[in-house]
Chain A
Amino acid sequence: MATTTQSSWHVLSRVGAGILGSYLFTWGFIALGATSLLAAGLEFHEATDLVSMLGLLIFLTAFCYAFIAASLARVWLVLAGGGALMTLAGWWLSRSLA
């Protein structure tokens, strides 16, 4: 296969971003998505079921993105950073809803 030569560390980091980064990103998406929909007045299970289902497609997209994107640093920043930010925002929103 015609690849640009990459260190095995780089490949490992890609795989790590694809799995762990996508997991964090999806976690954040579900947290923020569910609380936002609840804040918008959707029924409880309708909101949580919807984001859980969409979350799986979000994971799939994030997973593929981690291997396609040129800059690995940006992949980690978007997935892990974005995931952490969304998780925090979701947690904050859930406190104001309770």
Chain B
Amino acid sequence: MFANFRLSLTWLHTWFGLVLGFVLMVAFFFGSMSVFDREIDRWSLPQTRIAAQPMPSFDQVLAARLAAMTAPDPDQLELAAGRVTQPLPARLKVTTWSAFTTHRDPVLDLFVGFKVPHSKVPDDQIFAEVTIDPRNGRVLPRDQLPLGSGFFYPMHFSLNITWHDIGYWIVGFAAMAMLAAIVSGIVMHRKIFREFFTFRPERNLLRSTLDLHNLTGVVALPFHFLWALSGLIIFAGIYFPVIDKMMHPLIEAHEREEATHTGLALGPSGRPGTLASVDAMMAAAKAHWASLSVPGEVGFLVVSHVGNSNAYVSIYRDSTDRVATAEGLHFDGTTGRVLFEDPPVGPVATVSGFLQGMHLQQFKHWTLRWLIFTGGLLSCVCIATGFIFFVEKRKRAHASAGHAGARWADALAVTTVTGMVVATLLVLVVNRALPEDLAQRDLWQKSAFWLAWLATLVHAAWRSTALREARMSKAWPEQCGAIALLAAAAVVLNAITTGDHLGRTLSAGYWPVAGVDLTLLVCAGVATVAARKLHRRARSCAVAAGSGAADLERESARA
């Protein structure tokens, strides 16, 4: 398409980077937030600000709670109704019970799986989900949104667009564009080693932006590549359901063979069964882990074929000490004896488990957690400077030719860089400002987020008229100012509404809330400095408009 190899890849880098970059900003920013999703949950749900809890007694706490969950979540039921060839019966058959927790969770997620009969999808299952306080089994209200794991985390991989999984596909394609941008970026800039050490903030904006783009790109290169790739690997089954769609007989044959080998029944028998003490199985599992000298709390527990004589219970160790998820121990549901222990996984599963585990971070290692958070923010800086470079390089030419391209790129860049942070901080403020017992509190918070984000787009579009005269949009400093105010307001409101001010959380060493508050204060500080500098630049640009044009053109030609 272009004169040569390098120019083709430059075109790819520029245009896919720009268009999918807006999605990548969302994925990387909310991915960074998700590194601390449980901590943000504690901040947003004050009634859960307690120490992390181990898996509670199944026999005394969980069994009754799970048995009370007799119907799937209404939204899942509605979706399932669209996949069946015959109307769904009033009551669906329960297939699985499960409970999941990590070393950072004071609350416990419970799931009940229901079989969807007459579905076009093989082995179709839908779920009921509740979050409980494991100390007493009390269910947390469903409309109390855990902002970290319930909103920021799904935003990271699906943009919270659930219609036909389209959000997964958009983010997946953006991740692929990220990989292509990395490959093409390396081809475009051959002097990788030099760029590692090059940042000239005193030079003109175009040059220093490009320096920072290259610097952040190169410094965190393995992070950018491996996180985009491992994210794709996690959802590879959604993106390429090749085996599932084309080779179902092969899967079934494999499952049958595996079941004869493991002794774990594939389906229920005709006879009902009574579940033996699961607490005794958990105790046996812990004793087994102790004998292997590995740390062992129960992280994940599944009862398959609930209420049937074929029932079995799978118990998995939490992954505090390792990257990939641990192997399971499977017990006969009626007798409680061990049926099967998962053998060590093969080489491919080891690599795949490591890449996915690295991305999902269930291990206990706070230094690594902060490094991964920093890596995500570096990706954001790399993408954001890419936008700024795109605009700076074109704004004069577009202004003189009357093109609106640079103007709209700038407006969208403002919306996805500062606007997204404004909306995120606003939802934190709204979370603390709304009455605790307000009905549909989750909906209010989500609506506030989307409206705030829309407002930043309108603001950015309005302010971007400055680009017509090749000047800087004032939306940048103004939204930085809003970030500073909102971040500080969130910290103050948290102190007022919960009494958990920094003095108290720090002296008590309650890091989930203290950490969020401190990060918000750092954010407020950085945004204040940025707003001041950008205001100054906006003023000086207005004065000196046109004087540096020759210098800029020379730099553009070289870039």
Contact = CB atoms under 8 A, between A and B. Distances in A.
B240 A27 contact: yes
A31 interface: yes
Given A3-B2, A30-B240, A30-B243, A45 B7 contact: no
Nearest to B12: A67
Contact of A56 (B232, B246, B347): B232
Interface in A80-98: 87, 90-91, 94, 97-98
A43 B352 CA distance: 15
Interface residues of A, number: 42
B338 interface: no
Contacts of A64: 9, 12, 180, 183-184
A53 interface: yes
A14 B246 contact: no
B242 to A, nearest CB: 4
B180 A63 contact: yes
Contacts of A49: 348-349, 352
Interface residues of B, number: 38
A67 to B, nearest CB: 5
Determine which residue in A19, A30, A35, A48 has the highest number of CB atoms from chain B within 10 A of its CB, and name it: A48
A56 B9 CA distance: 19
Contacts of B236: 52-53, 55-56
Given A31-B242, A52-B237, A53-B233, A97 B250 contact: yes
B237 A35 contact: no
B351 interface: yes
B8 interface: yes
A46 B346 contact: yes
B492 interface: no
Nearest to A60: B179
Contacts of B173: 19
B246 A91 contact: yes
A9 B555 CA distance: 32
Contacts of A59: 176
Interface in A15-40: 19, 26-27, 30-31, 34-35, 38
A48 B184 CA distance: 29
Interface in B225-240: 229, 232-233, 236-237, 240
B543 interface: no
Given A27-B242, A94-B250, A98-B253, A60 B347 contact: no
22 contacts: A1-B11, A1-B14, A3-B2, A10-B1, A27-B240, A30-B242, A31-B247, A34-B242, A45-B349, A46-B346, A46-B347, A56-B229, A56-B232, A56-B233, A60-B180, A60-B183, A63-B180, A68-B8, A68-B9, A87-B246, A91-B246, A98-B247
Interface of B: 1-3, 5, 7-12, 14, 173, 176, 179-180, 183-184, 229, 232-233, 236-237, 240, 242-243, 246-247, 249-250, 253-254, 346-349, 351-352, 355
